[in-house]
Amino acid sequence: MANQERKHEDQALVERAVQGDQKAFRQLVERYQRKVYTIAYGIVRNPDAAMDVVQDAFVKVHRHLPNFKGDSSFYTWLYRIVVNLCIDRKRRAARAAEVDYDDALAHGDGFTNGPTLASTGIESPLKAAQRKELVEHMDKALETLSDDHREILLLREVDGLSYEELAETLDIAKGTVMSRLFHARKNFQKSLTRYLKK
Amino acid sequence: MNCNEVKTLLMPFHDGELDPAVAAEVETALSGCPECQVELEELSRLHTFAADAFTATVPEVDLSGVYDGVMARIAAEDAAEATSNAIEGVRVQREDAAPGLIDRIGTWFSELFRLQRPVTAFVAAAAVAALVAGVWFSGSQSTSPGERVDGGDPGIAKIDNNGKRRGREGEVSVTSSRVEAIADKGEVKVITFDDSDDEPIVLWHVVEGEGVSMPNGSSNGTKGL
Q: DSSP of A123-169, one letter per residue?
A: S-GGG-TTHHHHHHHHHHHHHHS-HHHHHHHIIIIIT---HHHHHHH
Average pLDDT of chain A is: 83
Residue B135: the pLDDT is 38
Examine the domain organization and report whether B49 and B120 are in the same domain. no
User: Does B212 lie in the same domain as B164?
Assistant: yes
Confidence of residue B92 (pLDDT cuts 50, 70, 90): very low
CB of A190 within 8 A of CB of A114? Answer: yes
Q: Are residues B122 and B11 in the same domain?
A: no
Per-residue pLDDT at B5: 86
How many domains is chain B built from?
Answer: 3
Instruction: Say yes or no for a CB contact (<8 Å) between A163 and B8.
Output: no
DSSP state of B10: H
3-state secondary structure of B158: strand
Average pLDDT, chain B: 57
Nearest to B208 by CA among B113, B86, B65, B92: B86
B130: pLDDT strictly greater than 60: no
Question: Which of B50, B66, B77 lies at the smallest CB-CB distance from A157?
Answer: B50
B47 pLDDT exceeds 50? yes
Residues B74 and B161 in one domain: yes
CA–CA separation, A42 and B37 (whole Å):
30
Mean pLDDT, residues A98-103 taken together: 62
B35 and B123 share one domain = no
Q: What is the pLDDT of residues A19-35, one digit of tens each?
A: 889 999 999 999 999 99
pLDDT (tens digit per residue) in B141-198: 333 333 333 333 333 333 333 333 333 222 223 333 333 333 333 333 344 444 444 4
pLDDT of A5 strictly over 60: yes
> Are B83 and B175 found together in one domain?
yes
Tell me: do B201 and B160 sit in the same domain.
Answer: yes
Q: What angle do CA B58, B64, B66 make, to 5 degrees?
A: 85
Kindly state whether residues B162 and B204 are assigned to the same domain. Answer: yes
Q: Does A105 touch chain B (CB under 8 A)?
A: yes
Answer whether B12 sits within 8 Å of A37, measured CB to CB: no
Rounded distance, CA B161 to CA B174, Å? 7
The pLDDT value given to residue B127: 53
Average pLDDT over every residue of B79-97: 46
User: Which residue of chain B has the CA closest to A61?
Assistant: B70
CA distance A114 to B90: 71
Express as a percent the part of chain B with pLDDT over 70.
Answer: 36
Query: Exposure of B140 by Cβ count < 10 A (0-12 exposed, 13-18 middle, 19+ buried)?
Result: exposed
- Domain match, B118 and B42 both: no
Cβ–Cβ below 8 Å for B41 and A118: yes
- The reported pLDDT for the residue numbered A152 is 94
Domain co-membership, B134 together with B188:
no
- The kind and range of the H/E element at B204 are strand B200-206
Residues 12-51 of A with CB under 8 A from B: 22, 25-26, 29-30, 33-34, 37-38, 41-42, 47, 51
Q: Which amino acid is at B99?
A: P
For A55-80, what is each residue's pLDDT tens digit?
999 999 999 998 887 778 898 899 99
Number of cross-chain residue pairs from A and B with Cβ atoms under 8 Å apart: 126
Burial B105-116 (b: 16+ CB within 10 A, else e): beeeeeebeeee
Q: Does residue B87 share a domain with residue B181?
A: yes
When comparing pLDDT for B101 and B68, which is higher? B68
Please state the pTM of the whole predicted model.
0.57
Q: Quick check: A154 and B54 CB within 8 A?
A: yes
- Taking each helix axis from N to C end, the angle separating A3-18 and A22-44, rounded to the nearest 10 degrees, works out to 120
Cα gap B103→B110, rounded to integer Å:
11
Architecture of the domain made up of A101-196? Orthogonal Bundle (1.10)
Q: Does B52 touch chain A (CB under 8 A)?
A: yes
B50 and A185 within 8 Å at the Cβ level: the answer is yes
Q: Where are the domains of chain A?
A: 3-90, 101-196
Q: Do A181 and B11 touch (CB under 8 A)?
A: yes
Which structural domain range is residue B128 located in?
101-138
Question: Above pLDDT 70, what percent of chain A?
Answer: 83
Rounded to whole angstroms, the Cα distance separating B19 from B8 reads: 14
What is the architecture, at CATH level 2, of domain A3-90? Answer: Orthogonal Bundle (1.10)
Picking from A59, A102, A157, the nearest residue to B54 by CB comes out as A157
Pair B186, B84 in one domain: yes
DSSP 3-state of B211:
coil
What is the spatial distance between Cα A72 and Cα A169, in angstroms, rounded to a whole number? 10
Q: How far is A75 from chain B (nearest CA, A)?
A: 17
Q: Nearest CA of chain A to the CA of B196: how many Å?
A: 29
Burial A112-144 (b: 16+ CB within 10 A, else e): beebbbbebebeebeebeeeeebbebbbbbbee
What's residue A73's pLDDT?
87
- Interatomic CA distance for residues A28 and A8, integer angstroms: 13
ipTM of the complex model: 0.73
At residue B23, the pLDDT reads: 93
